[in-house]
Copies of this chain bind each other. A is one copy, B any other.
Amino acid sequence: MSDTTEKEQQPRRRQARGERRIAQLLAAAAQVFCTTGYTAASTNAIAREAGVSPGTLYQFFPNKEAIAVELGDRLMHEMREAYGEALAPVDPATPLEEAIGSAVDRFMAFNTDHPVFFALMHGPDIPGRMAEAHDQLHTTVTGRIEALLGSLMPDAAPADVGRTARVCLGVYKAGLELVLAHEGAERAAYTQETKDVLIRYLEPLVGDRLGRA
């Protein structure tokens, strides 16, 4: 109480070696989570994959869930850093096709670069804290899409806009699953299909707005 420390924070001083181990463990965890999913992934397997003992793993993470949470946090941070408010620039000058195309490309690229992100967000086995993060991200993204749609179709009921936004996100997720299941040219083709589905779904809704031809 009288100490200078706020309330719950005595974050043991980390050495450079420790930071390296943490990165190593998170990389190993990503690998294991990708191949077996969160629940089936054992902490011993993660430690083995990282080449350290189980005890060492628990030197840096209080429990299994904390590994997934930290991994999720770092991915979120990297996502924000890479794309910032990628969905925010509603730039009314951009045609619908181009807006959807670049948004899909950006998110597809991120998810194919970090397949563990999909593994952590998609499983029905995700832990409590992870589910919160998932819901928060879901809400945020849905909100962004809602805002974007709201500016494109100003005379639609808010409930309809929200539903449309959720449908768009669902379609994107379905496309992502197909994209992740294929490689090379086939993968590119599914990316294009995903864009087409979204464009054709939204075109009639936004009306003649920006829809050139």
Query: Using a CB–CB distance below 8 Å, which chain A residues touch chain B?
Result: 37, 39-40, 119, 122-125, 163-164, 166-167, 170-171, 173-175, 177-178, 186, 189-190, 193-194, 196-197, 200-201, 203-204
Interface contact B200-A171, CB-CB below 8 Å: no
Task: Compute how far the CA of A115 lies from the CA of B76 in the bound complex, rounded to whole angstroms.
Answer: 32
Task: Give every chain B residue within 8 A of A166 (Cβ-Cβ).
Answer: 178, 190
Task: Give every chain B residue within 8 A of A119 (Cβ-Cβ).
Answer: 124
Task: Give every chain B residue within 8 A of A186 (Cβ-Cβ).
Answer: 163
Contact among B40, B124, B193 with A122 in the assembled complex (CB-CB below 8 Å): B124
| Most chain B beta-carbon contacts within 10 A, residue among A40, A170, A175 | A170
Task: Give every chain B residue within 8 A of A194 (Cβ-Cβ).
Answer: 167
Chain B's closest residue to A36 (CB) is B124
Task: Give every chain B residue within 8 A of A175 (Cβ-Cβ).
Answer: 167, 170
User: Given the known A-B contacts A167-B175, A167-B190, A171-B171, are A124 and B37 also in contact in the complex, defined by CB atoms under 8 Å?
Assistant: yes
Task: Compute how far the CA of A200 lies from the CA of B201 in the bound complex, rounded to whole angstroms.
Answer: 6
User: How far, in Å, is A74 (CB) from chain B's closest CB?
Assistant: 22
User: Given the known A-B contacts A170-B175, A196-B201, A200-B201, are A39 and B163 also in contact in the complex, defined by CB atoms under 8 Å?
Assistant: no
User: How far, in Å, is A192 (CB) from chain B's closest CB?
Assistant: 10
Contact among B39, B189, B197, B200 with A39 in the assembled complex (CB-CB below 8 Å): B39
Task: Compute how far the CA of A189 lies from the CA of B157 in the bound complex, rounded to whole angstroms.
Answer: 13
Interface contact B170-A178, CB-CB below 8 Å: yes
Task: Compute how far the CA of A200 lies from the CA of B203 in the bound complex, rounded to whole angstroms.
Answer: 9
Task: Compute how far the CA of A31 lies from the CA of B96 in the bound complex, rounded to whole angstroms.
Answer: 44
Interface contact B163-A170, CB-CB below 8 Å: no
Interface contact B201-A197, CB-CB below 8 Å: yes
